[in-house]
């Protein structure tokens, strides 16, 4: 490679798509660093406060696609106050001012405003793709600006955002001529939508492959859309409610049968059960099915649907599927790779409808399973050990027992051995979330065996600092560690402070770290932002070292303390 | 792991409360978190309702995204959106009765069971529904107010659609009822 001209090296780099690989390439020598940075088109910033827009674009001047993440993961569960941070505007403002040729923007857990969306629409002539996941702070007016001005828009994908719905005519704002839309997902919008405008939009979007409707779209409209767009590959149904005697049902069945390319189905926010059989023919070719927002489909109907889904690779359901339903999944879905079972009734009297039996059944039947999110009533070590043996290919294993400190349901022992078996057997495990009664022993297992672990989520676990230390010492590839309600304190926090510069972030809430520990950490490691989040107002900023810090967020950064922190967030 | 020992058996909510801060600053044991965890475990062995009450006090648990929690939960308050536990309570009035009653539509599988219950509650006979004649021959006609505010005859639409759209029930009596019985 030393004797090749730069253009040839650049051409070779062009085929390297993974940013992880590109980061490694950049470290080889100065020449490769230089060539790589000019050829990187897609930039990923895992923590928007680790770097500034200026430095990103200084290094990657030809960037066209940006993926930014804001708030820490526990913000999903209301542990991070709303105005903690993660503002998009400064990034857009910089890019607009410096004429960056932005084409794609993907955001997760950021505060997006209508101003930001309007600025995007006004500044980037080639803007093609906007994907927002778990964001908030904007309204349908911002969407209208994007629709109206981004002439080459291919993708508008809104996943689980909190959007203030002004019930305006944003869907009307797309250009009147043919659009280039390939993917449109507005399932998370809660308000009404102009149905006629929606149908017209579908009619003039010949490239549309993915369409996810919100609850306000009724069956009649859905049927007309299907007739217009039989080429759809991904479909999110809105409301599937109809009078079963109506003639629409036959029409719907035949329209669905014409959708030969359909591979992914979701939605079904409301259903008329007797109409569900219309979807069975489509099920045979499905590779992805998300019924986790369909509370009206009971277990026995879910079973009927799943029996048809022989090619399914990804399944998201509510726990009303029951252990019984999971056994049907195990028998029918031999290609299954990802399973997520969500609690239908998280705070209800019923403690969750699936148990270790369902999990063992799926692990026994679906040998390609590699990604799991499972909310259940109870678990046993024996079940976890069986799962570990049958499915050594897990990359993501997230188990949530609804009662967070529940022991093994059969033996009343902690679940250390079960999770220990998982980390020992699944050598490729990158992400792990645990729950149940857990002692320091499980952390010893994790530190000893989880060589590829990148993200660990801990809640109500462990006995002492030793637990956290096992993980920090053992998991060489650890990038994100988030801990809540566990007895880890300053000793664990301060034992190996340099470790945190090798990680993206550390979150600790309701643990035993104190102001003294945090101050020491901040002093020893200037390239970390040590943020104490005092939203409860209990702490005194200049007070005693012994004050216990309720919420701590530590992350590496190249740009020092952030300037947009609210007054209850202290960067020490 | 320490044995469960003899912990306080009565429902000592304060001790078991899993708050954001250290539970119980007046406790002398250093591992105060551990104590509350063991007490929770003790509770769990005693019974479901106690678990539910301590569960409800934990912020951010179970770890379900707020968006999802807000989407699947509030639907329970809308009439007839899920087939499980919580009820769809509607008022039932009968012309001439001194006070109204309330029934849970979810506790019935269909119209037959509903009408049996209503007939028994008000000590009346309604008879069978027919498409052409409604409740022809009866003194009483069961009607309901739907989402649009219209008064409809009970029994015309599928049961699920009924439970979804019914806001209240009214048993009409006398001449009004007979008028409805002619299936207009």
- Each residue's pLDDT tens digit, A126-145: 999 999 999 999 999 999 99
pLDDT tens column, A140-180 = 999 999 999 999 999 999 999 999 988 768 999 998 888 89
> Among all residues of chain A, which has the CA nearest to that of B162?
A243
The Cβ of residue A32 has, within 10 Å, a number of other Cβ atoms equal to: 18
pLDDT, position A85: 94
- Are B64 and A77 in contact (CB < 8 Å)? yes
Average pLDDT over residues A401-411: 93
Check if B106 contacts A (Cβ < 8 Å): no
Check if A414 contacts B (Cβ < 8 Å): yes
Q: Examine the predicted complex and report whether its ipTM is higher than 0.90.
A: no
pLDDT, position B77: 39
How far, in Å, are A294, A304, A305, B32 from residue A278 at the CA level?
A: 16, 12, 10, 56
Residue A189 to residue A192: CA distance in whole angstroms: 8
Residue A541 to residue A532: CA distance in whole angstroms: 9
pLDDT, position B177: 62
Cα–Cα nearest to A372, from A322, A422, A447: A422
Instruction: Of A384-398, B4-18, B20-34, B158-172, give the lowest mean pLDDT range.
Output: B20-34
> Among all residues of chain B, which has the CA nearest to that of A271?
B81
Residue numbers in A near B51 (CB within 8 A): 351, 403
pLDDT tens column, A370-379 = 999 999 999 9
Predicted TM-score (pTM) of this structure: 0.78
pLDDT tens column, A312-346 = 999 999 999 999 999 999 999 999 999 999 998 76
Which of residues 449 through 488 in chain A touch B, CB cutoff 8 A? 457, 459-460, 463-464, 484-487
- Name which of B66, B68, B82 is nearest A342 (Cβ-Cβ): B68
A326: closest CA of chain B, how far (Å): 19
pLDDT tens column, B9-60 = 445 555 555 555 554 444 443 444 443 444 444 433 443 444 444 445 688 8
Check if A214 contacts B (Cβ < 8 Å): no
- Name which of B66, B72, B157 is nearest A344 (Cβ-Cβ): B72
Residue A472 to residue A557: CA distance in whole angstroms: 19
- Name which of B21, B75, B86 is nearest A548 (Cβ-Cβ): B21
| Higher pLDDT among residues A119 and A2, named by residue | A119
> Among all residues of chain B, which has the CA nearest to that of A486?
B33
Cα–Cα nearest to A214, from A146, A287, A163: A163
Residue numbers in A near B7 (CB within 8 A): none
Q: Which tokens hold the place of B184?
A: 């207009």
pLDDT, position B86: 56
Residue A245 to residue A261: CA distance in whole angstroms: 28
Residue A122 to residue A180: CA distance in whole angstroms: 18
B181: closest CA of chain A, how far (Å): 23
- Local confidence band at A352 (pLDDT 50, 70, 90 cut-offs): low
Check if B147 contacts A (Cβ < 8 Å): no
Burial A472-510 (b: 16+ CB within 10 A, else e): bebbeebbbbbbbbbbbbbebbbeebebbeebbbbbbbb
DSSP 8-state code for residue A296? T
The Cβ of residue A100 has, within 10 Å, a number of other Cβ atoms equal to: 22
3-state secondary structure of A450: coil
Residues paired with residue A433 on neighbouring β-strands, in sequence order: A398, A457
Check if B50 contacts A (Cβ < 8 Å): no
Cα–Cα nearest to B59, from A393, A76, A67, A413: A76
pLDDT tens column, A478-500 = 999 999 999 999 999 999 999 99
């Amino acid at each position: 490679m030393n004797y090749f001209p730069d253009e040839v090296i650049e051409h070779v780099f062009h085929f390297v798509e993974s940013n992880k690989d590109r980061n490694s390439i950049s470290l080889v020598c100065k020449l490769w660093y230089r060539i790589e940075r000019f050829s990187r088109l897609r930039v990923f910033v895992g923590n928007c406060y680790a770097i500034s827009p200026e430095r990103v674009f200084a290094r990657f001047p030809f960037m066209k696609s940006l993926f930014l993440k804001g708030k820490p993961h526990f913000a999903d569960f209301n542990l991070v106050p709303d105005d903690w941070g993660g503002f998009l505007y400064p990034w857009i403002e910089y890019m607009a001012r410096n004429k960056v040729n932005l084409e794609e923007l993907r955001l997760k857990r950021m505060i997006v405003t209508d101003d930001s969306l309007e600025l995007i629409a006004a500044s980037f002539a080639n803007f093609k793709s906007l994907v927002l996941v778990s964001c908030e702070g904007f309204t349908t007016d911002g969407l209208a600006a994007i629709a109206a001005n981004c002439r080459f828009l291919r993708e508008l994908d809104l996943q689980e955002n909190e959007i203030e719905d002004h019930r305006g005519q944003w869907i009307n704002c797309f250009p009147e001529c043919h659009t280039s839309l390939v993917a449109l997902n507005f399932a998370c919008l809660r308000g009404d939508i102009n149905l006629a405008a929606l149908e017209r939009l579908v009619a003039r979007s010949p490239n549309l492959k993915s369409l996810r409707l919100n609850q306000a779209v009724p069956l009649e409209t859905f049927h007309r859309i299907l007739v217009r767009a039989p080429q759809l590959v991904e479909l999110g149904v809105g409301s599937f409610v109809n009078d079963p005697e109506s003639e629409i049902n036959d029409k719907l069945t035949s329209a669905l049968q014409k959708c030969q390319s359909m591979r992914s189905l979701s939605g079904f926010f409301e259903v008329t059960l007797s109409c569900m059989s219309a979807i069975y023919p489509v099920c045979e070719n499905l590779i992805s099915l998300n019924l986790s927002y369909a509370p009206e489909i009971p277990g026995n109907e879910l079973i009927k649907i799943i029996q048809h889904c022989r090619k399914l690779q990804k399944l998201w359901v509510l726990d009303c599927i029951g252990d019984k339903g999971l056994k049907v999944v195990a028998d029918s879905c031999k290609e299954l790779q990802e399973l997520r079972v969500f609690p239908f009734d998280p705070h209800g009297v019923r403690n969750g409808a699936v148990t270790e039996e369902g999990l063992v059944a799926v692990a026994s039947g679906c040998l390609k399973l590699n990604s799991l999110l499972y909310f259940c009533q109870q678990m046993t070590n024996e079940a976890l050990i069986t799962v570990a043996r049958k499915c050594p290919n897990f990359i993501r294993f997230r188990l949530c027992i609804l009662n967070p400190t529940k022991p093994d349901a059969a033996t009343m022992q902690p679940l250390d051995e079960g999770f220990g078996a998982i980390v020992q057997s699944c050598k490729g495990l990158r992400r792990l979330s645990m729950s149940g009664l857990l002692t320091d022993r499980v952390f010893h297992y994790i530190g000893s065996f989880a060589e590829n672990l990148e993200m660990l989520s801990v809640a109500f676990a462990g006995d002492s600092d030793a637990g956290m230390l096992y993980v920090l010492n053992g998991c060489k590839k650890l990038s994100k560690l988030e801990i809540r309600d566990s007895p880890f304190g300053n000793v664990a926090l301060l034992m190996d402070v340099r470790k945190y510069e090798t990680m993206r972030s550390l979150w600790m809430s309701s643990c035993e770290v104190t102001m003294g520990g945090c101050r020491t950490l901040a002093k020893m490691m200037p390239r970390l932002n040590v943020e104490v989040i005092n939203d409860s107002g209990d702490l005194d900023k200049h007070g005693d070292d012994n004050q216990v810090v309720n919420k701590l967020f530590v992350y590496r950064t190249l740009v020092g303390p952030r300037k947009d922190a609210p007054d209850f967030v202290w960067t020490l | 792991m320490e044995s469960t020992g003899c912990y306080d058996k009565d429902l000592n909510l304060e001790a078991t409360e899993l708050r954001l801060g250290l539970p119980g600053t007046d406790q002398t044991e250093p591992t105060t978190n551990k104590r509350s965890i063991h007490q929770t475990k003790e509770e769990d062995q005693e019974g479901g309702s106690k678990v539910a009450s301590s569960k409800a006090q934990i912020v951010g648990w179970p770890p379900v995204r707020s968006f999802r929690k807000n989407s699947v939960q509030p639907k329970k308050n809308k009439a007839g959106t899920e087939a499980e536990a919580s009820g769809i309570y509607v008022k039932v009035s009968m012309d001439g009765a001194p006070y109204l009653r309330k029934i849970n539509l979810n506790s019935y599988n269909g119209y037959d069971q509903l009408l049996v219950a209503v007939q028994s509650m008000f000590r009346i006979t309604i008879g069978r529904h027919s498409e052409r004649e409604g409740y022809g021959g009866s003194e009483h006609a069961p009607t309901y107010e739907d989402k649009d505010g219209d008064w409809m005859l009970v029994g015309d639409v599928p049961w699920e659609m009924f439970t979804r759209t019914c806001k209240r029930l009214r048993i009409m009596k006398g001449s009004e009822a007979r008028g409805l019985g002619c299936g207009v």
